[in-house]
Amino acid sequence: MKHYIHQLDGYPKFAWDSAKILDILTNVAINQGTILGKMQQFGFGIQQEAMLNALTEEITKSSEIEGEILNSQQVRSSLARRLNIKLENPVPESHHIDGIVQAMMDAVNNYKMPLTDERLFGWHASLFPTGYSGMHKIKIAAYRTEEMQVVSSKNYRDLIHYEAPSPKKVSAQMKEFLSWLNANGNENPLLKAAIAHLWFVIIHPFDDGNGRLTRSITEMMLARAENTNLRFYSMSAQIQKEKKDYYGVLEETNTSTLDITIWLEWFFGCLQRAIESSNDIIGKVLEKAAFWQRHALDITNETQREIINKLMDGFTGNMTSGKVAKIFKISQDTAIRLLKDLSERGFLSVQAAGRSTHYVLINTQR
């Protein structure tokens, strides 16, 4: 019979091998400082654009880990409104996505505020505005009152990966967790972020949404560790890349001893790789800024500028004249003319697939 970590004598007094995590913890802290220092060299507009990209990644990938695919353009538009970034022709609002974005922005912008039951319940309600998870009605903005198991199916058999604490223990355990989380102790703030992530997963206090809330708490704790609400990398995007290892190390940690060294090593390694991957996010923003410095006078038509910007921002699907006409509310003939002009001047390349013609960006470094 499995013994889970919350069933062990001494829980939640976690232990770890400091010698094994010291070097990687130090390197992560150095890299955090490096990326913040690098971004301080640039103006507010570039910082906001990089943050927009990073938070879009964070929100979409956190949901993707749980199997929910959000419309990245809706997420981006909702974030842009809250960051006071003007987007021409933003996509229509989504109440559901706006709620998710609002919760993340609360976690990041108000990172110094205590995390309370009420605040956490607000985040939870934003994930499930209808009161349903899929077709199942769940308890919203309140801790669970039912037993909780993490189960998968293989060869028509259910595999139990984890059994969370009894619902009778959830309120007391959350009180202890939140008290520790909000205390101004002497713990290393990055170490505290890693422990917070694991501890919340162990309690699994809600009927659903625990994974996404865990990662929101992690973002809040990382902001506390950096003492800034500026976000230039996405931990969730890296976890999504390493999802199998993520679930594997969580299962191993939750069914072993109170020694959580293996989890801390993995968490800090993943965080290190997330920070390293931020060069892609930042690079795209800087490339975009450099492009418009070179070509500000070459592309003066506002619709053409927005076509280029949408492609630079990772427009989903193929950019066709029909989509341009619909997005910018112009005629099909005008859309064709604008795209053809950009193509003839070497900014776009014409791609043909069957009877469909679409356009892609030519190297923006030129």
How far is 89 from 173, CA to CA, in rounded Å? 47
**Better-predicted residue by pLDDT, 219 or 89:** 219
For 247-291, what is each residue's pLDDT tens digit?
A: 999 999 998 799 999 999 999 999 999 999 887 777 777 788 778
Domain extent listing, the chain: 5-287, 300-361
- CA-wise closest residue to 317 among 363, 364, 359: 359
Average pLDDT of the chain to the nearest whole number: 91
Which CATH fold topology does 300-361 show?
A: Arc Repressor Mutant, subunit A (1.10.10)
CATH superfamily label, 5-287: Fido-like domain (1.10.3290.10)
Residue 99: band (very low, low, confident or very high) from pLDDT cuts 50, 70, 90: very high
Query: Rounded to the nearest 5°, which phi and psi values hold at 353?
Result: -135, 100
Residue 206: partners with Cβ closer than 8 Å, 6 or more residues away? 124, 138, 139, 143, 144, 213
pLDDT digits (tens, 9 = 90+) for 6-35: 999 999 999 999 999 999 999 999 999 999
Q: What is the pTM of this model?
A: 0.82
Chain Cα centroid distance, residue 236: 5
Give the amino acid at 180.
W
Q: What one-letter code names the amino acid at 117?
A: D
Predicted pLDDT of residue 212: 97
- Each residue's pLDDT tens digit, 112-139: 999 999 999 999 999 999 999 888 999 9
Contacts 24+ apart (CB under 8 A), 345-348: 345/298, 347/295, 347/299, 347/308, 348/311
> Is the pLDDT assigned to residue 309 strictly greater than 60?
yes
Token couple for 103: 């919760």
Phi-psi region of 340 (alpha: psi -120 to 50; beta: other; left: phi over 0): alpha
**pLDDT bracket for residue 331 (50, 70, 90):** very high
- Per-residue pLDDT of 197-246, as tens digits, reads 999 999 999 999 999 999 999 999 999 999 999 999 999 999 999 999 99
| Structure confidence at residue 353 as a pLDDT band (50, 70, 90) | low
